Amino acid sequence: MTVEEEYRGKGIGSLILKELGKKAKETGAEYIVLNAIENALEFYKKHGYKTVKRAQALFGSI
């Protein structure tokens, strides 16, 4: 997930993440798996997510 640069810092990404988390709970998901780029890790950690395992890039080098 990414938010267009001009809209960053306005809580949009946090709102999207919160709603996706609510939907996951409503549908019985036991966990959520994220594939995040390095500079987004702190954003997800701020929202209670943690790094469990580092993965290779999905599409190689971006």
pLDDT of res. 59: 67
Instruction: Give residues with Cβ within 8 angstroms of 26, minimum separation 6.
Output: none
pLDDT in tens, 2-57: 899 999 999 999 999 999 999 999 999 999 988 888 889 999 999 999 988 887 76
Alpha-carbon gap, residue 50 to 48, rounded angstroms: 7
Which phi and psi (to 5°) does residue 10 adopt? -110, 5
pLDDT of res. 28: 97
CA triple 16-6-35, angle to 5 deg = 45
Query: Which residue shows structure tokens 């998901």?
Result: 29
pLDDT of res. 62: 52
Alpha helix (H) residue ranges in the chain: 12-26, 41-46
**Segments making up each domain of the chain, as ranges:** 5-46
